[in-house]
């Protein structure tokens, strides 16, 4: 499936390791979606927390990820990528299991903070590790498969969670925790001999330098423009997870069922299209994929503003997903190519912070617009916001000739 770089370990073995990492990430996504989407309901139903308190505890995990990333995100630029990633995975497994057994809201606050720390450790280290092991011209395909696997989790995980009694019992959290810990153990065994040669000999930064790299990275004009585009587009995208569901649940005949059908359509469209688009996107530049995918999503937001019938909402969701399939693998690929090898986790940390900012601000802005001005103000406005992101992406990527060539011709940044 994936071709990888041959440092000191043979290429076929590295290819197997990358495929193992991608598969493990997909399995982890499946069990996470089996449990985490039901956490607020579980807190309310099983532990009798109010709706507001349940939402606050759930949101604490995202806040903890953002705050912890400032310190822990660059850690794998200083230490072993594998050890940092597995530490995060193990912490997540323990925290999920504990949530299935916990009966105290105070304990849940602590566990959500632990989950946030786990994601801050695991995410940038995983993305940096698979980037290290995969040549740049293959990374669009790599991140496309990672995105595809995550959507398999999104499509099937909630159904498995509902079947296992998520929202009423802690069993799905225990199962998720056990699977994630097993994946951490499998990773420790499979990756124990993998060399950490992402930093040239004698150039490995100290921890203080790793933290300082966050500020140094922000001096990269292309990176800053691209991250601003991600913040802006994230403000719009988060409406699909929050404001869109609120509107459909209260203003359509099918209510929440329609929103469920739309989310299923999204997941299954990704599963069907990504393998077909993967080879095609190899022949297109990252600039092309970013602009076309983002442009389709902007039109999709405008479509939500005028849609009325259930079929129109579902059709527009499928159309929107086409844009998502085209543009999503570009995001990690751009950062992996821009970043010098010894700063790769730092660059992915900045992406995590950009996403977290959107997640924090976006739902409140969308809810306020829906409450005061109605559906068209939200989704028409988000179409304009997405077009602004498109402008930022164009301004960022057009200044680097690597992003103007086909993705199969990508090259990495020179070492510092």
DSSP letters spanning 123-160: HHHHHHHHHHHS-GGGHHHHHHHHHHHHHHHHHHHHHH
CATH code, domain with 138: 1.20.1250.20
Can you give the pLDDT at residue 210?
Answer: 61
* Domain-located, residue 200: no
Can you give the pLDDT at residue 342?
Answer: 80
Q: Which residues in 20-39 are b (16+ Cβ under 10 Å) and which e? A: ebbebbbbbbbbbbbbbbbb
Instruction: Say if residue 249 is in the same domain as residue 177.
Output: no
Instruction: Say if residue 248 is in the same domain as residue 384.
Output: yes
Total tally of structural domains belonging to the chain: 2
Instruction: Say if residue 295 is in the same domain as residue 413.
Output: yes
Which residue range forms the structural domain that includes residue 250? 215-416
Can you give the pLDDT at residue 205?
Answer: 56
Instruction: Yes or no: say if 324 and 270 are a contact pair by the CB < 8 Å rule.
Output: yes
State which H helix or E strand residue 184 sits in: helix 171-190
Can you give the pLDDT at residue 2?
Answer: 47
Instruction: Yes or no: say if 243 and 363 are a contact pair by the CB < 8 Å rule.
Output: yes
Instruction: Say if residue 16 is in the same domain as residue 63.
Output: yes
Instruction: Say if residue 62 is in the same domain as residue 173.
Output: yes
Distance between CA 268 and CA 265 in Å, rounded? 5
* Domain-located, residue 84: yes
Return the number of other C-beta atoms located less than 10 Å from residue 47's C-beta: 16
Apex CA 320: angle with CA 233 and CA 116, to 5°? 50
Can you give the pLDDT at residue 243?
Answer: 80
Instruction: Say if residue 154 is in the same domain as residue 223.
Output: no
Instruction: Say if residue 137 is in the same domain as residue 242.
Output: no
Return the number of other C-beta atoms located less than 10 Å from residue 333's C-beta: 27
pTM equals 0.85
Residue ending a domain, choose from 165, 194, 223: 194
Per-10-residue mean pLDDT of the chain, 416 residues long, equals 48 78 93 84 82 79 85 82 93 95 92 93 92 90 91 82 77 93 93 69 58 77 93 88 77 78 85 88 94 96 90 93 93 91 86 83 80 84 94 94 92 75
Can you give the pLDDT at residue 1?
Answer: 46
Residue ending a domain, choose from 143, 163, 194: 194
Instruction: Say if residue 44 is in the same domain as residue 189.
Output: yes
Instruction: Say if residue 304 is in the same domain as residue 386.
Output: yes
* Domain-located, residue 377: yes
Can you give the pLDDT at residue 60?
Answer: 83
* Domain-located, residue 203: no
Instruction: Say if residue 101 is in the same domain as residue 19.
Output: yes
DSSP letter string over 334-399?
A: HHHHHS-GGGHHHHHHHHHHHHHHHHHHHHHHHHHHHHHH-HHHHHHHHHHHHHHHHHHHHHHHTT
* Domain-located, residue 412: yes
Residue ending a domain, choose from 140, 159, 194: 194
Instruction: Say if residue 236 is in the same domain as residue 285.
Output: yes
* Domain-located, residue 144: yes
Instruction: Say if residue 289 is in the same domain as residue 386.
Output: yes
* Domain-located, residue 210: no
Instruction: Yes or no: say if 148 and 137 are a contact pair by the CB < 8 Å rule.
Output: no
Instruction: Yes or no: say if 80 and 121 are a contact pair by the CB < 8 Å rule.
Output: no
Can you give the pLDDT at residue 7?
Answer: 47
DSSP letter string over 11-36?
A: HHHHHHHHHHHHHHHHHHHHHHHHHG
Q: Which residues in 116-137 are b (16+ Cβ under 10 Å) and which e? A: bbbbbbbbbbbbbbbbbbbbbb
* Domain-located, residue 149: yes
Can you give the pLDDT at residue 389?
Answer: 95
């Amino acid at each position: 499936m994936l071709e990888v770089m041959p440092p000191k370990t043979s290429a076929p073995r590295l290819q197997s390791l990358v495929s193992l990492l991608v598969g493990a990430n997909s399995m982890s996504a499946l069990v996470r979606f089996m449990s985490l989407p039901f956490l607020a309901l579980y807190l309310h139903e099983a532990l009798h927390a109010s709706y507001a308190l349940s939402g606050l505890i759930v949101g604490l995990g995202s806040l903890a990820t953002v705050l912890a990333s400032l310190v822990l995100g660059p850690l794998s630029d200083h230490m072993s990528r594998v050890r940092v990633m597995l530490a995060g995975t193990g912490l997540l497994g323990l925290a999920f299991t504990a949530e299935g057994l916990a009966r105290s809201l105070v304990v849940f606050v602590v566990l959500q903070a632990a989950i946030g720390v786990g994601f801050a450790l695991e995410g940038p280290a995983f993305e940096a590790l698979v980037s290290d092991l995969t040549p740049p011209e293959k990374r669009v395909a790599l991140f496309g498969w990672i995105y595809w696997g995550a959507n398999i989790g999104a499509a099937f995980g909630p159904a498995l969670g509902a079947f296992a009694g998520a929202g009423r019992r802690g069993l799905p959290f225990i199962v998720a925790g056990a699977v994630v810990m097993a994946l951490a153990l499998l990773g420790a065994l499979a990756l124990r001999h993998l060399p950490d040669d992402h930093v040239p000999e004698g150039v490995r930064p100290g921890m203080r330098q790793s933290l300082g790299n966050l500020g140094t990275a922000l001096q990269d004009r292309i990176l800053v423009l691209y991250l601003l585009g991600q913040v802006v587009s994230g403000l719009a995208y988060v409406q699909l997870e929050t404001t869109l569901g609120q509107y459909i649940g209260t203003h359509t005949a099918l209510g929440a069922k329609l929103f469920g059908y739309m989310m299923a359509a999204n997941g299954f469209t990704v599963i069907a299209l990504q393998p077909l688009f993967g080879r095609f996107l190899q022949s297109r530049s990252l600039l092309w994929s970013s602009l076309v995918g983002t442009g389709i999503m902007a039109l999709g937001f405008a479509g939500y503003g005028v849609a009325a019938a259930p079929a129109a909402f579902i059709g527009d969701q499928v159309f929107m997903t086409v844009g998502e399939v085209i543009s999503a693998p570009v995001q990690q690929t751009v950062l992996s190519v821009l970043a010098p090898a010894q700063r790769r986790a730092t660059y992915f940390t900045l992406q995590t912070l950009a996403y977290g900012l959107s997640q924090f601000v976006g739902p409140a802005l969308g809810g306020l617009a829906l409450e005061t001005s109605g559906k068209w103000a939200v989704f028409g406005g988000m179409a304009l916001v997405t077009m602004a992101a498109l402008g930022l992406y164009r301004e960022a990527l057009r200044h680097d000739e690597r992003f103007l060539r086909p993705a199969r011709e990508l090259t990495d940044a020179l070492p510092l």
